[in-house]
Amino acid sequence: MPVCKNCGNEFSGKRSDAVFCSEKCQKQEASKRRRIVRAIKRQEFLKPRPCKECGKEFVPALRSLKTQVFCSEECRMIDYYRKRQERGRAEERRKYYSNNKEKLIEYNRIYRRKTAYDGNGIKAMERDGFKCRSCGSTEDLHIHHIDGSGQSDNPNNVLDNLITLCSSCHARAHAAELSQKAIQARWSRVQSITKEQIEEALSSCRTIEEAAKKLGITRRTLLLKRKQFGLPMRR
């Protein structure tokens, strides 16, 4: 006859694979297992942990195993009053900013202007009389790098390389720099085309226009390069 796993008594009238004599014994066994699991977890939580305030290791109380982070009430109150003081200072800063918003914005603008361009930005404006060197405007002034290094990783912020321009003149100056760079890039690309590349393009394409498009140059440039290399004319 099978023996009950909980009380140890023999029982009959159950299924062949039954391990408990009654529902009461089954519940008691389940309760025992839950107590064992809780005891194991409690032992894990009872390990010493560092105090959030003083850093001293302590063993938490049984009633607050998961939530206790301070070793004593004194440390908890120190942390509480410090946080309340920080919240008060943050509230004071918010009130001060709301009451002096325009003043602080102007101060930050002046500070950025004094420290920008390694401190030479404001010096360049003072040297130019706070006027655009191109049109004489006094509104929306910018600092422009004469050598075009302003957008590079290491701009040249020497005072002699800085000039005061208004926003419109500044945009035109950069547009001129970009067009000059594009011309230089195109010229270097044209100079890098070899005789073999022109012969290959002319032999693989049906027309001069297709060959010029394949090489990335104009039809007139291709004709000049072909004449330069002494290649025969095509029909």
pLDDT band (50, 70, 90) for residue 13: low
Boundaries of every domain in the chain: 1-45, 101-186, 193-229
- pLDDT tens per residue across span 75-134: 888 888 888 888 888 888 888 888 888 888 887 777 777 777 888 888 888 888 888 887
Is-contact 11 31, C-beta < 8 A? no
Q: Please give the structure tokens belonging to residue 33.
A: 């297992």
The Cα 193–Cα 202 span in angstroms is 13
Whole-prediction pTM value?
A: 0.39
- pLDDT tens per residue across span 40-79: 776 776 788 898 888 888 888 777 777 888 888 888 888 8
Is the pLDDT reported for residue 235 higher than 50? no
